[in-house]
Amino acid sequence: MVALLAYAGSAQQRGGFTDPFLDNLTGEWNLRRSIRGQTVENRVEAKWVLNHQFLLVEMSDAKTPTEYAANIYIGFDDAKKSYVAHWLDVFGGAFSETLGYGKRNGNKIIFLFEYPDGPFRNTFTWDEKQRSWNFLMQNGHKDGSWTLFAEDKLTKKQT
């Protein structure tokens, strides 16, 4: 118990995770997803949580009742010098059991998730001129090729 309290104290002293790049994702967004030949509308809200250690991206479809929802926690692993993403959604633990690691390259963060049936890549791209985001999701194959799973286009919700 003492070790846990000491760890909690040191984590609090460390302060939050500051990332001006990810700050661009905070706020409310309209999301248009292209998946399997269909286009669906989603809502997104992103905010800093847990002592500013993670950016929580809350996603849900625009249907009533909601059929799809996800919470994505994005943080940074100082030891690995890598972004981390915990993707939790309505499909449960089998699909959210792995952690994605990402590297920033200019205006992109490329997250790689290693699932038992193969890798999955999600590239978050910030378009500063348009002030919008694009999330490109791809399935990896044994031959090294990648195929499109879905693509999300986020535009800031007008207030």
Q: With contact defined as beta carbons under 8 Å apart, do 154 and 31 qualify? A: yes
Please, which pLDDT band fits residue 66 given cuts at 50, 70 and 90? confident
Note the pLDDT tens digit of each residue in 75-110: 999 999 999 999 888 888 766 656 889 999 999 999
- Per-state percent for the chain, helix, strand, coil, to nearest 5: 15, 55, 30
Superfamily of the domain at 2-156: Calycin beta-barrel core domain (2.40.128.20)
CA distance 135 to 114: 18
In the chain, where are the structural domains located?
2-156
Across the chain, what does the average pLDDT equal? Answer: 87
The predicted pLDDT at position 117 comes to 83
